[in-house]
Structure 1
Amino acid sequence: MSGVRARVADRLTDLGYAAGWQAVQRLPEPVARGAFDAGGRWAAGRDGRRVRQLRANLRVATGGRLSEDELADLTVRAVRSYARYWQEAFRLPRLPGERIVADTASSGVEHLEKARADGRGVVVALPHSGNWDAAGVWLVDWLGGPFTTVAERLRPESLYRRFLDYRASLGIEVLPLTGGARPSSAVLREWLAGGGFSCLLVDRDLGSGGVPVDLFARRATMPGGPALLAAQTGAALHPAVCRFTDRGWEFAVRPEVPVDGPGRLRDRVAAAMQGVADAFTQDLAVRPEDWHVLGRIWADVPPDPPAGERG
């Protein structure tokens, strides 16, 4: 019976996403935006565990400098930013690509241009900030073709396929983190060795072999895959951050983080990922509310206690 209940729950989850996806796309844009913003305020007010984890993470990201009221206000803005991401995720396939490109402010593109002119592949290392799907639309337009990325396999499988189709409609080629016909790392190596671009979200370590880094002056782990791929293929490793603007989106690319040179590969990978963490520390501080981290980032930073128990 438990297997039947799990299948029914998976089916209901998929149907719920499908219904929401269609409904939001049919709504006028101002109505959808207002509804999700109100939902974000409501979710922040509920003070659930994920919101309290977000609050604790933001305290670290702001160096503990904010008062309790300022931190509360930042947390509300952060949940509203996360709600904006989902509203746009549901609607993005309906938005003209020309509009997304026109409303995206980009910086540091000269770094990508140099790597491309040299015939090198590029690994863009990103945190979960702003709208990385909108940045993907901008990058597909700039490249004149697709780039690759890796996504965690969701349950149910039908929901995972729905997200694959969604990103494919934006021109993004998605590889499954697990369960693919070939290991995603092997496919990425071939793609990068041929001069392709890949974008990888790296501020959450989903495996067990993460690289220790200092992120906002506190020990965390990040997957070492981006630096390892760059070292193995000769690709350029570039940190980048996505942010929201009043009009649209921002995509900021940082200079290349070197992975070549003397020393053991393990040490060079660790040093490169620390360089990525340093770039994140600097760039996420510009608009910390756009960093969507409702999960645990630092082992020693649990969720804040409920509002009634906070001193």
Structure 2
Amino acid sequence: MSGATARLTDLGFAAGWRAVRMLPEPAARRVFDRAGTWAAGRRGKGVRQLTANLRVATKERLGEAELDELTVRAMRSYARYWQEAFRLPSMDHRRIVEETELVGLEHLERVRNEGRGLILSLPHSGNWDAAAIWFIDWLGGPFMTVAERLQPESLYQRFLDYRESLGMRVVPLTGGERPSSTVLREWLDDGGSACLLVDRDFGRAGVPVTFFDRPTTMPSGPAVLADQTGAAIIPSTCQFTGRGWRIVFHPEVPVAGPGRLRDRVAGAMQGVADGFTASIGEQPEDWHMLGRIWADVPPDPGPP
């Protein structure tokens, strides 16, 4: 990205944050809903990859017309995420807490009652920033997460400030004063909680898993941290409801036990993938995966 393009990108996000907050919520939602429909109709590379991914997530049971309709709903869902992201700092956080439906909360409560740390492993689904507001309220304090460095640096700082304004503690994946894994381990050792997005293909650096019956990889970090600190891994999926939000918490994925660490880590991340498969499969339109996650699933062909 050239310096001029990077600067324009940052300015575009800054303008979006200001403009969307000024709109009444119904108007903002209509604008972004139309934008999602428009983006789906353009069928750019990301949208075509989303369609290919949704074909796998629905186990190829949909006809092409139904799949196209699902892609439109998914892009509207993705647009809703961005509309809410721009508005969250000025939204009533109490409303978000009250309008968030919870499935499987007992899995979190059991871990908290045991005094252990929590690692919520999430896919790119629904609005994880809104879920963060609920989680911080439930914890009574911050949790830690990791952020990849965006270009330009000013845009990365803008997102860093945004997420910290919601109450998160954010550490950079690379380029920090200390390795992010070290900072996370110390935080979890003290009984803290962390949220980590993990539905991405890590290639040779990742752990092999089966996701929707196809091989891919996921990062080993959550399982390694759980083994080091005794924290619990809880696969968690965010979804949208009509005007609110839903978080689905799955049972703890075990890591401790006999056998080699490598095998236990692989087993734990397979458990995470299985949890994602179940909840994404129930509401696939909220899975915003516009990137390639399976090596053998390229984007659908472009327009002729």
Q: Give the TM-score taking structure 1 as reference length.
A: 0.96
1:129 aligns with 2:121: no
Q: Cα 1:14–1:206, aligned 2, differ >3 Å: closer, same or farther?
A: farther
Q: CA deviation at 1:152?
A: 0.9
Specify the alignment match of 2:29 in structure 1. Answer: 33
Count of equivalent residues: 304
Specify the alignment match of 2:248 in structure 1. Answer: 252
Deviations 1:28-73 (A, max 9, x none): 1111100000000000001111110000000000000001111010
Q: For residues 15 and 207 of structure 1, what CA distance do their matches in structure 2 show?
A: 33
Task: Tell me which amino acid in the other structure corresponds to 1:265.
Answer: L
Deviations 1:101-153 (A, max 9, x none): 01101121111111111111011100000000000000000001000001111
Specify the alignment match of 1:181 in structure 2. Answer: 177
Q: For residues 302 and 158 of structure 2, what CA distance do their matches in structure 1 show?
A: 35
Q: For residues 235 and 96 of structure 1, what CA distance do their matches in structure 2 show?
A: 31
Q: Cα 1:206–1:90, aligned 2, differ >3 Å: closer, same or farther?
A: farther
- SS of alignment partner, residue 170 of structure 2: strand
Specify the alignment match of 2:292 in structure 1. Answer: 296
Q: CA deviation at 1:228?
A: 0.7
1:110 aligns with 2:94: no
- SS of alignment partner, residue 119 of structure 1: coil
Specify the alignment match of 1:234 in structure 2. Answer: 230
- SS of alignment partner, residue 205 of structure 2: coil
Specify the alignment match of 1:61 in structure 2. Answer: 57
Deviations 1:253-274 (A, max 9, x none): 1110000100000000000000
Task: Tell me which amino acid in the other structure corresponds to 2:140.
Answer: G
1:42 aligns with 2:38: yes
Structure 1 counterpart of 2:263, from 267, 286, 291: 267
Deviations 1:144-201 (A, max 9, x none): 1000001111011111111011111110111111001110000000111111100000
Q: How does 1:74-223 map to 2 (within 5 A)?
A: 74-206=70-202, 208-223=204-219
Specify the alignment match of 1:283 in structure 2. Answer: 279
Deviations 1:75-118 (A, max 9, x none): 11001110000000000111011011011011211111111111
- Of 178-187 and 104-113, more deviation after overlay is shown by 104-113
Q: For residues 175 and 60 of structure 2, what CA distance do their matches in structure 1 show?
A: 41
- SS of alignment partner, residue 285 of structure 1: helix
Q: For residues 179 and 80 of structure 1, what CA distance do their matches in structure 2 show?
A: 34
1:72 aligns with 2:72: no
Specify the alignment match of 1:11 in structure 2. Answer: 7
Q: For residues 197 and 180 of structure 2, what CA distance do their matches in structure 1 show?
A: 14
Specify the alignment match of 1:305 in structure 2. Answer: 301
Q: For residues 95 and 202 of structure 2, what CA distance do their matches in structure 1 show?
A: 34
- Of 39-48 and 109-118, more deviation after overlay is shown by 109-118
Q: For residues 59 and 293 of structure 2, what CA distance do their matches in structure 1 show?
A: 15
| Structure 2: gaps of 5 or more residues | none
Q: For residues 66 and 6 of structure 2, what CA distance do their matches in structure 1 show?
A: 39
| Structure 1: gaps of 5 or more residues | none
Percent of counterpart pairs with the same letter?
Answer: 68
- SS of alignment partner, residue 229 of structure 1: helix
Measured on the aligned residues, the alpha-carbon RMSD in Å equals: 1.1
